[in-house]
Amino acid sequence: MERRKLGKTELTLSVLGLGGFHLVELLRDEAVRLVHLYLDLGGNYLETAESYGHGDSEEKIGEVLKTRRKECFVATKSQKRTKEEILRSIEGSLKRLNTDHVDLFFIHELNRFETLEAITTPSGALEGVEEAKRAGKIRYVAFSNHATPEVAAKALNTYPFDALMIPLNYFDRFNFPGWEEEVIPLAQSKGVGVLAMKVLADGFLWKNTEKAFRYTLSLPVTALVLGINTEAYLYKDTELLTNLVPMGDEEKERWFFEAPELGHYVCRQCRKCLPCPEDIDIPRIFLLEGQYDRQMKDDVIRDPEEYALRDRLRFWFGNQDYAQKAYEELPVQASSCTRCGECESRCPYGLPIMKKLLIAHEKLTDRRPPGYTRIA
């Protein structure tokens, strides 16, 4: 299996990283067998978190590390934000993992500016991480961010992180373009390693796994960290990542037209719809819609299986308040549309822009909490 260097660190990781979230779905013996098989197939990057099953994932990986610690690099994560809390968290993780150190330690879900402020203040989590690093319990420091490229960029300019993990896939490319346009170039300029998560957009791209892998492989990433819970998936993913050729730029552009998940609704941010006679920043509004619910609710009636998947994933990142606040501050909102139709005649993707503006406005002004409606 191909191996790539992680930024300026001394870690050289297999291109397929094993994410530990889905190990909580397995019985202990099955999970341990799967991790052993991953290592047997040439993988060497195991990633987990304290919060995955309240330590269950760490304990399962720890069973493997009892005998194979020297064969792999191990990462874990914590959502604790103070020095005292994160030091306790690190000790608990090391105990469950049966190791005296982790190769990579993540500040988990560094998604908000207020979280970044909390961890960087005196007695914040980063002070604890630095202490653990001096004690040899952590080799390198990273963070994960799921939905806010602007926060990730500020984090990279605030602390000398060694790596970061962000969602990279051809669907969310158009909901959070800042990952590829701003964060990755900034990370590269600083020698910070980039790890890709959510390569299948939380399972949304399951019908086009090969295309999804090839797309993310085309980006300057060290590893694709995949949640795998069966031997069949592990064999398939290993084979794909051993043999696939990354997408080229021309093929990407074609796929942006053809990808069924993007279809005739997701805005590709080409900006060809502009200028609008009413000065509506159409792409900006659709970008905020993407931040709100990944442009997944599109007023199309689907079969129950696909509806359930979309409904489960649309608020996966919990970023609605950021999107709605930004929409409030726009000088011209979607409600100013006069339905002249000029924008639709220019759109190369055939999007129903006038209807989409109405949908986006409804989402971005809706103050009801998202969630399921239960009838008692």
Q: Which residues share a beta bridge with 124?
A: 82
Spatial CB neighbours of 287, under 8 Å, sequence gap ≥ 6:
175, 177, 267, 269
For residue 341, give Cα distances in angstroms to 79, 226, 354: 47, 43, 7
Other Cβ atoms less than 10 A from the Cβ of 99: the count is 18
Whether 227 and 53 have beta carbons less than 8 Å apart is answered as: no
**Which tokens sit at 252?**
């990407």
pLDDT band at 371 (very low <50, low <70, confident <90, very high): low
What pLDDT is recorded for position 376?
A: 43
Q: For 235-265, how does the pLDDT look when each residue is reduced to its tens digit (9 = 90+)?
A: 999 999 999 999 999 999 999 999 999 999 9
Give the phi and the psi of residue 17 in degrees, each rounded to 5. -100, 145
130, pLDDT greater than 90: yes
pLDDT band at 369 (very low <50, low <70, confident <90, very high): confident
Query: Which domains, from first to last, does the chain contain?
Result: 3-247 (3.20.20.100), 282-365 (no CATH)
Distance separating the N- and C-terminal Cα atoms of the chain: 53
**Which tokens sit at 323?**
């999107």
- Count the alpha carbons within 13 Å of 372 in the hemisphere toward its beta carbon: 9
pLDDT band at 375 (very low <50, low <70, confident <90, very high): very low
d(CA 190, CA 349): 36
CA 63 to chain centre: 27
Q: For 326-360, how does the pLDDT look when each residue is reduced to its tens digit (9 = 90+)?
A: 999 999 999 999 999 999 999 999 999 999 999 99
Instruction: Please report, rounded to a whole number, the percentage of residues in the chain having pLDDT higher than 70.
Output: 98
Whether 104 and 192 have beta carbons less than 8 Å apart is answered as: no
Report the SS3 class of residue 106: strand
Mean of the per-residue pLDDT values for the chain? 96
22, pLDDT greater than 90: yes
Other Cβ atoms less than 10 A from the Cβ of 113: the count is 14
